[in-house]
Structure 1
Amino acid sequence: MSELLATEVAREDQQRELPRPARVPAAVRRTATALLGVAVLLVVWELYRALGPVTGVEVGGQRVLPRADPRSMPGVLDVLRTLGEPEVAVPGSRTVGQAVLAACWGTFRTAAGGWLLGAVVGIALALPMQRFRLAERGLLPWVVLSQTVPVIAVAPLVAAWGGRLQLTPTLTWQPWTSVVVISAYLAFCPVALGALRGLQSPSPAATELFTACAATPRQTLLRLRVPSGLPFLVPALRLAAAQAVVGSIVAEISTGTRGGVGRLVLEYAQQATSSPGRLYAAVLGAALLGLAAAALVSVLDVALLRRHRPLEAPR
C-alpha cells in the first residue's frame, strides 16, 4: 500500500512539473472575437454590394434586403474617404470626421450624465427592494414596465414638461437636461435589476452566519451583500452605459437638440442622396461611441472585481 501511495505521489509531482500550455487572457480573446465579428460583417457588406441585386430582394411585395447600389450601400472605403472631406465647401471648414468626433463628444457628455443619474436611481431602488419584500413586489413590476414604453414617445413629453420648469430664479431647464433625463430613463432599469440580483445573491448559509454573529443590517449590506453583488452590478453598469448612449441619441433626434451625433444623423440623412457616405459615417461614430462607453465601464471590472474579497464575518 505504501509503495502504491509513493508511486501516486511521484506521478502527481511529475504532472505538476510538466509545462502547462499558455492561456490566452480573457480580455485578449474577447477583443479578438469582437474584431473578427466586425471583419466578417464588413466582408458580408462588400460581398452583398458586389453580388446583390441592384433593386434589392422583395418577398410578397415587401423589400427584405436593401438595394445594392452605391447610394443605398456605399463601400467601406467610400465611407472612410468621406471622413476626410470638408463638411461644407468653405475654405478652412472642418472635415466630416471632425464633425462626427465633435458630435460624439457632445453625446458622450449627456450620456455620461444620464448613466450616472440612472445608476444612482437604479441602486436607490434596489436597496429597498432587497430589504423589504413589499417594496420588491410593489416596485419591480413598474421598473420592468417602464422599459416597455417607447423612448421616442417619452422624449417629447420630457422636453415639454421640463421646458415649463423654473428650478431657481437663475437656473432654468436646458435642452440638454431633457436628453440626460431620457438617457437615465433607459439606463436605470438594468442597474436596478443587476443590483437587486447581486444583493440577493449571498447564500442562506452566509446570511445565517452574519445573523448568528449579531450583525446589523448595515454590516450585512456592506460586508456581505455589496461584495457579493459586484459581479452582477458591473455587467449591469456596462449595459446601462450602452443604453445611456442609445437614449441620448434617440432624445437628440426626438427633441431636435443640437450638438450630438443624433442631430448629426438627421442632418446627414438629408444629404444622403448626394453624399450617402456621410450618413454612414455618423452611424459608425454612434456605434463606436456605444462600444467606447461600455469599454470605459469595463475599467470598473478591473478596479472592483479584482479587489473583491471573500465575505468577512463581523467581529
Structure 2
Amino acid sequence: MGGRWRSALMTAAGFVLLVLLWELAKLVLPDAGVSVGDTRVLPRTDDAAMPHVWTVLAQLGRPEVAVPGARLVGVAVAAAALFTLGLALGGLVLGAVLGMVLALVMLRFELVERAALPYVVLSQTVPLIAIAPLVAGWGGKIAILGWSWQPWASVMVISSYLAFFPVAVGMLRGLSSPIRADVELFRAMAAGWWTTLLRLRLPASVPHLLPALRLATAAAVVGAIVAEISTGTRGGIGRLIIEYAQSATGDPSRMYAAILGAAVLGLVAAGAVGLLDVGLRRYRGSVR
C-alpha cells in the first residue's frame, strides 16, 4: 500500500514539476525564442506558441463553438479520450494475448525462438505511419458474416502491433527466468512440460510480465492516437488534436487542452494495468 501511495505521489509531483518548468520557461526565455544564426535552438514562448497553464485549463470550460447549447471543450476532450481509451485497451488485450502465445511457442520450440525473435525485434523498426494506411486498406476489404471492417478496428489492430512486442520479450524472459536447480527438481519429480509451465515458469514470469505490460500500455495508447491521425478515424483524441490544431490560429490553448487529455488518457490506462499488480502481488518475489 505504501509503495502505491509513493508511486501516486511521484506521478503528481512529476506533473507539478512539468507545470513549473513550463511557466519558468515562459518567464525566463524571450518570446521569440533563442536563435543561433538561422537556427532556432529554443522555442518561442509567447502566448501564441506556449499558452499559460491556467489558460489551457480555462479552455476546458468554454464551448467548442459560439452557439447556444454547444458542448464544452472539456466534455469533447473527455468523450474523445474515452473513445481512444477503449481502442487502446482493446489493442492492448489483443497484443498481449498475441505476445504471450508467441512467447510460449518460442519457449517450447527453440528453433522457433531462433527464427522468429529477430523478426519480432525487426518489426518494431517499421514506421507506424507507414503501416497504418496499409492496415486500413486491407481491413476495408474484409467482410465476415455480414460484418464489414470498421475504421476503429484498424486503430485497434495498429495499437496491438505496438503492444505485442514488449509483452512477447518480457514474457519470454520471465518464462526462462527459473534457475536450473528448480527446473531439474521438477524433472526429478516427473513433472511434465505443462506442469512445469503452470507451477514454476508462469509464476516466475509475473515480475517480468508486469513491467512489460506497462510498456505495452504506453505503446498501445501512442499507437491508437497515431493510428487515428493516420487513418482519419473520427471520435478519438488523436483526431481531436488535429481538428483543434487546424483551428488554433491565435489561441493554441484548445489544442493543448486536447494534448492534456491525451496525457491523462495515458495515466488512466497505466492505472488500469496497475490493478494487475495488486492482484498478482504475491508473485513479486519470484525474480531471482
Shorter-chain TM-score bucket reads over 0.9
Matched, 1:96 2:70: no
CA-CA distance at 1:148 after TM superposition? 0.6
The equivalent of 2:100 in structure 1 is: 123
Aligned-partner Cα distance in 1 for 2:234–2:41: 33
CA-CA distance at 1:206 after TM superposition? 0.3
Q: How does 1:70-85 map to 2 (within 5 A)?
A: 70-85=47-62
The equivalent of 2:219 in structure 1 is: 243
Does the 8 A contact of 1:227 with 1:308 survive in 2? no
Q: How does 1:215-226 map to 2 (within 5 A)?
A: 215-226=191-202
- Please tell me whether Structure 1 or Structure 2 has the larger radius of gyration of its CA atoms: 1
Residue 207 of structure 2 is aligned with which of 210, 221, 231?
231
Aligned-partner Cα distance in 2 for 1:274–1:187: 37
Greater displacement, 301-310 / 120-129: 301-310
Residue 155 of structure 2 is aligned with which of 167, 176, 179?
179
The equivalent of 1:25 in structure 2 is: 2
Q: Deviations over 1:52-86 (max 9, x none)?
A: 11111223522222111101000000000000000
Q: Deviations over 1:29-58 (max 9, x none)?
A: 222222222212111111111221111122
Q: Deviations over 1:117-152 (max 9, x none)?
A: 001100010001111211111111111111111111
Unmatched 5+ residue regions in structure 2? Answer: none
CA-CA distance at 1:309 after TM superposition? 8.8
Q: Deviations over 1:135-180 (max 9, x none)?
A: 1111111111111111111101110111122223x11111111000
The equivalent of 1:208 in structure 2 is: 184
Does the 8 A contact of 1:230 with 1:305 survive in 2? no
2:148 partner SS: coil
Q: In angstroms, what is the RMSD of aligned CA positions?
A: 1.6
Q: How does 1:182-201 map to 2 (within 5 A)?
A: 182-201=158-177
Does the 8 A contact of 2:204 with 2:283 survive in 1? no
| Deviating 4+ runs (over 4 angstroms) | 307-310
Aligned-partner Cα distance in 2 for 1:294–1:261: 17
Aligned-partner Cα distance in 1 for 2:37–2:165: 39
Q: Deviations over 1:181-225 (max 9, x none)?
A: 000000000000110011000000000000111101000000000
Aligned-partner Cα distance in 2 for 1:112–1:77: 31
1:270 partner SS: helix
Q: How does 1:1-315 map to 2 (within 5 A)?
A: 25-168=2-145, 170-306=146-282
The equivalent of 1:18 in structure 2 is: none
Aligned-partner Cα distance in 2 for 1:154–1:262: 17
Q: CA separation of 1:137/1:49 partners in 2, compared to 1, >3 Å: closer, same or farther?
A: same
The equivalent of 1:15 in structure 2 is: none
Aligned-partner Cα distance in 2 for 1:111–1:31: 22
Q: Deviations over 1:60-115 (max 9, x none)?
A: 52222211110100000000000000011111111000000000011011111100
Greater displacement, 32-41 / 222-231: 32-41
Q: CA separation of 1:127/1:60 partners in 2, compared to 1, >3 Å: closer, same or farther?
A: farther
Does the 8 A contact of 1:227 with 1:309 survive in 2? no
1:85 partner SS: coil
Aligned residues: 287
CA-CA distance at 1:27 after TM superposition? 1.7
Q: TM-score, normalised by structure 2?
A: 0.96
1:258 partner SS: coil
Q: CA separation of 1:60/1:209 partners in 2, compared to 1, >3 Å: closer, same or farther?
A: farther
Aligned-partner Cα distance in 1 for 2:139–2:102: 23
